[in-house]
Amino acid sequence: MGFHRRWVMTDTMIEKYQTHGIDSIKNIFTADAYVSDDGLASEVVNEVLVSKRDDKLWMRVSGMIEKYIKDSKKTIIKK
Partners of 51 in beta bridges: none
Q: Grade residue 65 by pLDDT with cuts at 50, 70 and 90.
A: very high
Judged by DSSP in three states, 47 sits in: helix
Per-residue confidence (pLDDT) for residue 77, from 0 to 100: 61
pTM of the predicted structure, to 2 decimals: 0.75
> What percentage of the chain exceeds 90 in pLDDT?
62
- Pairing type for strands 33-36 and 5-8 reads parallel
